[in-house]
Amino acid sequence: MSAPDTASTPRRVLVTGASGMLGGAVAQLLRDNGHHVRTFQRGASAGATDEVRGSLTDLDAVAAAVKSMDAVIHLAAKVSFTGQWEDFVATNIDGTSNLLAASKESGVKDFVFVSSPSVAHFGKSLAGAGAGDADPQQARGFYARSKAAAEREALGNDSPEFRVAAIRPHVVWGPGDTQLVERVIARAKAGRLPLLDHGAALIDTTYIDNAAAAIVRGLERMDHAHGRALVVTNGEPRPVGELIAGICQAGGTPVPKLNVPGWLARGAGSVIEKLWLAAGSRDLVHDEPPMTRFLAEQLSTAHWFDQRETHEVLDWKPEVGIDEGLQKLADHYRAS
Protein backbone atom coordinates (compact mmCIF):
# COMPACT_ATOMS: atom_id res chain seq x y z
CA MET A 1 0.00 0.00 0.00
CA SER A 2 1.22 3.51 -0.80
CA ALA A 3 2.19 6.16 1.73
CA PRO A 4 -0.61 7.67 3.84
CA ASP A 5 -2.68 10.39 2.17
CA THR A 6 -2.48 13.95 3.39
CA ALA A 7 -6.19 13.58 4.21
CA SER A 8 -5.22 11.08 6.92
CA THR A 9 -3.98 13.98 9.07
CA PRO A 10 -5.76 13.78 12.46
CA ARG A 11 -9.27 15.22 12.25
CA ARG A 12 -12.42 15.52 14.35
CA VAL A 13 -14.76 12.82 13.05
CA LEU A 14 -18.34 12.06 14.05
CA VAL A 15 -19.38 8.41 13.72
CA THR A 16 -23.11 7.67 13.89
CA GLY A 17 -24.31 4.22 14.86
CA ALA A 18 -21.15 3.43 16.82
CA SER A 19 -23.01 1.07 19.17
CA GLY A 20 -23.28 -1.45 16.30
CA MET A 21 -20.56 -3.89 15.31
CA LEU A 22 -19.45 -2.04 12.18
CA GLY A 23 -19.85 1.45 13.63
CA GLY A 24 -17.86 0.45 16.69
CA ALA A 25 -15.09 -1.01 14.55
CA VAL A 26 -14.94 2.15 12.42
CA ALA A 27 -14.78 4.39 15.50
CA GLN A 28 -11.99 2.31 17.04
CA LEU A 29 -9.96 2.24 13.82
CA LEU A 30 -10.23 6.02 13.52
CA ARG A 31 -8.95 6.35 17.08
CA ASP A 32 -6.12 3.96 16.32
CA ASN A 33 -5.23 6.14 13.30
CA GLY A 34 -4.96 9.23 15.51
CA HIS A 35 -8.30 10.91 14.79
CA HIS A 36 -10.49 12.47 17.48
CA VAL A 37 -13.77 10.55 17.43
CA ARG A 38 -17.18 11.63 18.64
CA THR A 39 -19.97 9.06 18.51
CA PHE A 40 -23.69 9.59 18.09
CA GLN A 41 -26.24 6.91 18.86
CA ARG A 42 -29.16 6.25 21.18
CA GLY A 43 -27.25 4.00 23.62
CA ALA A 44 -23.73 3.80 24.98
CA SER A 45 -20.80 3.28 22.64
CA ALA A 46 -17.85 1.14 23.71
CA GLY A 47 -14.62 3.06 24.11
CA ALA A 48 -16.26 6.47 23.66
CA THR A 49 -14.81 9.44 25.54
CA ASP A 50 -16.76 11.98 23.48
CA GLU A 51 -20.31 10.97 22.67
CA VAL A 52 -23.71 12.47 22.07
CA ARG A 53 -26.73 10.28 22.68
CA GLY A 54 -29.90 10.82 20.76
CA SER A 55 -31.90 10.03 17.65
CA LEU A 56 -31.44 11.15 14.07
CA THR A 57 -35.00 12.46 14.27
CA ASP A 58 -34.06 14.89 17.07
CA LEU A 59 -32.80 18.04 15.36
CA ASP A 60 -31.23 19.47 18.52
CA ALA A 61 -29.32 16.25 19.22
CA VAL A 62 -28.11 16.07 15.60
CA ALA A 63 -26.92 19.68 15.74
CA ALA A 64 -25.03 18.99 18.98
CA ALA A 65 -23.43 15.91 17.46
CA VAL A 66 -21.98 17.65 14.38
CA LYS A 67 -20.84 20.79 16.20
CA SER A 68 -17.10 21.45 15.64
CA MET A 69 -16.65 18.28 13.56
CA ASP A 70 -14.46 18.17 10.44
CA ALA A 71 -16.03 15.03 9.00
CA VAL A 72 -18.94 12.62 9.45
CA ILE A 73 -19.17 8.88 8.86
CA HIS A 74 -22.84 7.98 8.88
CA LEU A 75 -23.66 4.34 9.72
CA ALA A 76 -26.78 4.63 11.88
CA ALA A 77 -29.81 3.02 10.20
CA LYS A 78 -32.86 0.91 10.78
CA VAL A 79 -31.86 -2.55 9.54
CA SER A 80 -34.47 -5.29 9.35
CA PHE A 81 -35.93 -7.77 6.89
CA THR A 82 -39.38 -6.41 7.66
CA GLY A 83 -41.19 -3.65 9.51
CA GLN A 84 -43.34 -0.60 8.84
CA TRP A 85 -42.29 1.66 5.95
CA GLU A 86 -42.79 4.78 8.07
CA ASP A 87 -40.12 3.60 10.52
CA PHE A 88 -37.56 3.15 7.72
CA VAL A 89 -38.41 6.59 6.35
CA ALA A 90 -38.02 8.28 9.74
CA THR A 91 -34.54 6.88 10.43
CA ASN A 92 -32.96 6.10 7.09
CA ILE A 93 -34.35 8.88 4.89
CA ASP A 94 -35.42 11.74 7.16
CA GLY A 95 -32.62 11.02 9.63
CA THR A 96 -30.01 11.22 6.87
CA SER A 97 -31.57 14.47 5.62
CA ASN A 98 -31.32 15.93 9.11
CA LEU A 99 -27.69 14.92 9.43
CA LEU A 100 -26.75 16.26 6.01
CA ALA A 101 -28.38 19.63 6.68
CA ALA A 102 -26.82 19.97 10.13
CA SER A 103 -23.39 18.95 8.82
CA LYS A 104 -23.43 21.59 6.09
CA GLU A 105 -24.68 24.22 8.51
CA SER A 106 -21.92 23.37 10.99
CA GLY A 107 -19.12 23.54 8.41
CA VAL A 108 -18.37 19.82 8.08
CA LYS A 109 -16.14 19.30 5.02
CA ASP A 110 -16.40 15.54 4.34
CA PHE A 111 -19.33 13.12 4.70
CA VAL A 112 -19.11 9.34 4.22
CA PHE A 113 -22.52 7.72 3.80
CA VAL A 114 -22.36 4.00 4.58
CA SER A 115 -24.82 2.41 2.20
CA SER A 116 -25.53 -1.11 0.90
CA PRO A 117 -25.26 -2.89 -2.47
CA SER A 118 -28.92 -3.79 -2.00
CA VAL A 119 -29.78 -0.26 -3.18
CA ALA A 120 -28.97 -1.45 -6.71
CA HIS A 121 -30.02 -5.12 -6.41
CA PHE A 122 -33.38 -5.55 -8.09
CA GLY A 123 -34.01 -9.25 -7.55
CA LYS A 124 -31.90 -10.53 -10.43
CA SER A 125 -28.45 -12.10 -10.26
CA LEU A 126 -25.43 -9.78 -10.13
CA ALA A 127 -22.24 -11.45 -11.38
CA GLY A 128 -19.08 -9.34 -11.45
CA ALA A 129 -21.22 -6.20 -11.29
CA GLY A 130 -20.15 -2.65 -10.63
CA ALA A 131 -21.80 -0.43 -8.05
CA GLY A 132 -24.82 0.45 -10.19
CA ASP A 133 -27.20 3.32 -9.53
CA ALA A 134 -29.24 3.40 -6.34
CA ASP A 135 -32.92 3.15 -7.26
CA PRO A 136 -35.54 3.46 -4.50
CA GLN A 137 -38.29 2.37 -6.90
CA GLN A 138 -36.69 -0.93 -7.91
CA ALA A 139 -34.72 -1.86 -4.79
CA ARG A 140 -36.20 -4.84 -2.94
CA GLY A 141 -37.56 -4.41 0.56
CA PHE A 142 -38.10 -1.38 2.77
CA TYR A 143 -34.52 -1.30 4.05
CA ALA A 144 -32.99 -1.24 0.56
CA ARG A 145 -35.54 1.25 -0.77
CA SER A 146 -34.98 3.66 2.11
CA LYS A 147 -31.19 3.38 1.87
CA ALA A 148 -31.37 3.97 -1.89
CA ALA A 149 -33.34 7.18 -1.36
CA ALA A 150 -30.93 8.32 1.37
CA GLU A 151 -27.85 7.55 -0.75
CA ARG A 152 -29.26 9.53 -3.66
CA GLU A 153 -29.83 12.54 -1.42
CA ALA A 154 -26.38 12.23 0.15
CA LEU A 155 -24.52 12.08 -3.17
CA GLY A 156 -26.76 14.84 -4.51
CA ASN A 157 -25.18 17.12 -1.90
CA ASP A 158 -21.62 16.45 -3.07
CA SER A 159 -19.68 19.59 -3.93
CA PRO A 160 -16.11 20.90 -3.62
CA GLU A 161 -17.11 22.55 -0.31
CA PHE A 162 -19.03 19.54 1.08
CA ARG A 163 -17.61 16.31 -0.25
CA VAL A 164 -19.75 13.16 -0.04
CA ALA A 165 -18.86 9.54 -0.79
CA ALA A 166 -21.06 6.44 -0.50
CA ILE A 167 -19.36 3.23 0.64
CA ARG A 168 -21.43 0.04 0.24
CA PRO A 169 -19.98 -2.84 2.30
CA HIS A 170 -21.68 -6.08 1.33
CA VAL A 171 -22.92 -8.66 3.88
CA VAL A 172 -20.60 -7.68 6.74
CA TRP A 173 -19.93 -10.36 9.35
CA GLY A 174 -17.52 -11.27 12.12
CA PRO A 175 -17.32 -11.91 15.88
CA GLY A 176 -20.09 -10.13 17.74
CA ASP A 177 -22.27 -9.78 14.66
CA THR A 178 -26.00 -9.78 15.45
CA GLN A 179 -27.25 -8.92 11.96
CA LEU A 180 -26.02 -11.99 10.08
CA VAL A 181 -24.01 -14.45 12.18
CA GLU A 182 -26.34 -14.71 15.18
CA ARG A 183 -29.40 -14.82 12.92
CA VAL A 184 -27.89 -17.68 10.89
CA ILE A 185 -26.94 -19.64 14.00
CA ALA A 186 -30.26 -19.03 15.77
CA ARG A 187 -32.33 -19.99 12.73
CA ALA A 188 -30.18 -23.05 12.07
CA LYS A 189 -30.63 -24.22 15.67
CA ALA A 190 -34.38 -23.73 15.38
CA GLY A 191 -34.57 -25.55 12.03
CA ARG A 192 -35.74 -22.34 10.33
CA LEU A 193 -32.88 -21.91 7.85
CA PRO A 194 -33.44 -23.84 4.62
CA LEU A 195 -30.98 -23.80 1.76
CA LEU A 196 -32.55 -22.35 -1.37
CA ASP A 197 -31.68 -24.12 -4.61
CA HIS A 198 -29.13 -26.21 -2.65
CA GLY A 199 -27.27 -23.05 -1.56
CA ALA A 200 -25.61 -22.76 -4.96
CA ALA A 201 -25.93 -18.99 -5.48
CA LEU A 202 -22.51 -17.33 -5.56
CA ILE A 203 -22.22 -14.32 -3.23
CA ASP A 204 -19.63 -11.91 -1.90
CA THR A 205 -19.34 -11.04 1.79
CA THR A 206 -17.09 -8.73 3.80
CA TYR A 207 -15.23 -9.56 7.00
CA ILE A 208 -15.70 -6.86 9.64
CA ASP A 209 -12.04 -5.70 9.75
CA ASN A 210 -12.02 -5.22 5.98
CA ALA A 211 -15.32 -3.32 5.97
CA ALA A 212 -14.14 -0.93 8.68
CA ALA A 213 -10.81 -0.33 6.95
CA ALA A 214 -12.49 0.43 3.62
CA ILE A 215 -14.88 2.93 5.21
CA VAL A 216 -12.03 4.76 6.92
CA ARG A 217 -10.13 4.76 3.62
CA GLY A 218 -13.20 6.36 2.03
CA LEU A 219 -12.72 9.32 4.36
CA GLU A 220 -8.93 9.42 4.00
CA ARG A 221 -9.21 9.21 0.19
CA MET A 222 -12.02 11.72 -0.18
CA ASP A 223 -10.08 13.58 -2.90
CA HIS A 224 -10.65 10.49 -5.07
CA ALA A 225 -13.84 9.01 -3.59
CA HIS A 226 -16.22 11.98 -3.35
CA GLY A 227 -19.19 11.88 -5.66
CA ARG A 228 -18.87 8.10 -6.05
CA ALA A 229 -20.61 4.98 -4.77
CA LEU A 230 -18.18 2.12 -4.13
CA VAL A 231 -19.07 -1.48 -3.30
CA VAL A 232 -16.75 -3.14 -0.78
CA THR A 233 -16.37 -6.91 -0.42
CA ASN A 234 -13.74 -9.48 0.40
CA GLY A 235 -13.58 -10.26 -3.32
CA GLU A 236 -13.97 -13.98 -2.61
CA PRO A 237 -17.37 -15.05 -3.97
CA ARG A 238 -18.50 -18.42 -2.62
CA PRO A 239 -21.71 -20.46 -2.72
CA VAL A 240 -24.08 -19.16 -0.07
CA GLY A 241 -24.52 -22.70 1.28
CA GLU A 242 -20.78 -22.95 1.88
CA LEU A 243 -20.73 -19.66 3.79
CA ILE A 244 -23.73 -20.66 5.90
CA ALA A 245 -22.05 -23.97 6.68
CA GLY A 246 -18.86 -22.18 7.72
CA ILE A 247 -20.75 -19.86 10.07
CA CYS A 248 -22.74 -22.73 11.59
CA GLN A 249 -19.60 -24.80 12.14
CA ALA A 250 -17.84 -21.84 13.76
CA GLY A 251 -20.80 -21.42 16.12
CA GLY A 252 -21.06 -25.15 16.89
CA THR A 253 -24.44 -25.48 15.17
CA PRO A 254 -25.54 -28.27 12.79
CA VAL A 255 -25.38 -27.25 9.15
CA PRO A 256 -28.84 -26.86 7.51
CA LYS A 257 -29.87 -29.78 5.30
CA LEU A 258 -33.37 -28.81 4.20
CA ASN A 259 -33.53 -27.62 0.60
CA VAL A 260 -36.33 -25.46 -0.84
CA PRO A 261 -36.69 -24.28 -4.45
CA GLY A 262 -35.88 -20.60 -4.73
CA TRP A 263 -39.05 -19.77 -6.64
CA LEU A 264 -41.17 -21.32 -3.90
CA ALA A 265 -39.34 -19.45 -1.13
CA ARG A 266 -39.71 -16.13 -2.93
CA GLY A 267 -43.45 -16.58 -3.32
CA ALA A 268 -43.90 -17.84 0.22
CA GLY A 269 -41.78 -15.01 1.57
CA SER A 270 -44.09 -12.40 0.07
CA VAL A 271 -47.13 -14.00 1.70
CA ILE A 272 -45.47 -14.63 5.07
CA GLU A 273 -44.20 -11.07 5.36
CA LYS A 274 -47.66 -9.59 4.74
CA LEU A 275 -49.24 -11.91 7.30
CA TRP A 276 -46.48 -11.16 9.80
CA LEU A 277 -46.99 -7.41 9.58
CA ALA A 278 -50.76 -7.77 9.72
CA ALA A 279 -50.43 -9.69 13.00
CA GLY A 280 -49.49 -6.48 14.80
CA SER A 281 -46.54 -5.02 16.69
CA ARG A 282 -43.61 -7.36 17.33
CA ASP A 283 -40.03 -7.22 18.50
CA LEU A 284 -38.65 -7.36 14.97
CA VAL A 285 -35.04 -7.71 16.10
CA HIS A 286 -35.59 -11.04 17.81
CA ASP A 287 -38.92 -12.07 16.31
CA GLU A 288 -38.72 -11.79 12.53
CA PRO A 289 -40.67 -13.83 9.99
CA PRO A 290 -39.01 -17.11 8.95
CA MET A 291 -38.85 -15.88 5.34
CA THR A 292 -39.39 -12.68 3.36
CA ARG A 293 -39.15 -12.12 -0.37
CA PHE A 294 -36.04 -9.98 0.09
CA LEU A 295 -34.34 -12.67 2.16
CA ALA A 296 -35.32 -15.38 -0.35
CA GLU A 297 -33.85 -13.33 -3.19
CA GLN A 298 -30.63 -12.76 -1.27
CA LEU A 299 -30.30 -16.51 -0.63
CA SER A 300 -31.15 -17.67 -4.14
CA THR A 301 -29.55 -15.16 -6.53
CA ALA A 302 -25.89 -14.45 -7.24
CA HIS A 303 -24.53 -11.14 -5.98
CA TRP A 304 -20.80 -10.66 -6.34
CA PHE A 305 -18.96 -7.58 -7.52
CA ASP A 306 -16.00 -6.33 -9.53
CA GLN A 307 -13.67 -4.74 -6.98
CA ARG A 308 -11.11 -3.14 -9.29
CA GLU A 309 -12.55 0.39 -9.08
CA THR A 310 -12.89 0.16 -5.30
CA HIS A 311 -9.28 -0.98 -4.88
CA GLU A 312 -8.00 1.77 -7.17
CA VAL A 313 -10.02 4.64 -5.70
CA LEU A 314 -9.40 3.68 -2.07
CA ASP A 315 -5.83 2.43 -2.60
CA TRP A 316 -6.87 -0.49 -0.43
CA LYS A 317 -7.32 -4.25 -0.49
CA PRO A 318 -8.83 -6.56 2.15
CA GLU A 319 -6.36 -8.09 4.58
CA VAL A 320 -8.48 -10.80 6.26
CA GLY A 321 -9.61 -13.65 3.99
CA ILE A 322 -12.85 -15.60 4.36
CA ASP A 323 -11.16 -18.70 5.79
CA GLU A 324 -9.15 -16.65 8.30
CA GLY A 325 -12.33 -14.78 9.24
CA LEU A 326 -14.20 -18.03 9.86
CA GLN A 327 -11.35 -19.20 12.08
CA LYS A 328 -11.53 -15.94 14.04
CA LEU A 329 -15.26 -16.47 14.39
CA ALA A 330 -14.76 -20.01 15.68
CA ASP A 331 -12.15 -18.77 18.18
CA HIS A 332 -14.64 -16.15 19.37
CA TYR A 333 -17.34 -18.71 20.05
CA ARG A 334 -14.92 -21.06 21.79
CA ALA A 335 -13.75 -18.23 24.04
CA SER A 336 -17.27 -17.14 24.90
DSSP for 4-64, please give it.
Answer: PPGGGS--EEEEETTTSHHHHHHHHHHHHTT-EEEEEESS--TT-SSEEE--TT-HHHHHH
Active site residue 333: no
CA of 297: how far to CAs of 54, 78, 146, 182, 329, in Å?
34, 20, 18, 20, 26
Separation between Cα atoms, residue 250 and residue 244, nearest integer Å: 10
Is 146 within 8 Å of 136 (Cβ atoms)? yes
Task: Select which of 40, 113, 142, 143 is catalytic.
Answer: 143
How many other C-beta atoms lie within 10 A of the C-beta of residue 148? 25
d(CA 202, CA 273): 25
Burial class (CB in 10 A: 0-12, 13-18, 19+), 291: buried
> Using an 8 Å Cβ cutoff, are 86 and 293 in contact?
no
Q: Which residues of 238-248 are buried (b: 16+ CB within 10 A; e: fewer)?
A: bbbbebbbbbb
Q: How many residues does the chain have?
A: 336
Angle between helices 240-250 and 181-189 (to 10 degrees): 80
Residues with catalytic roles: 143
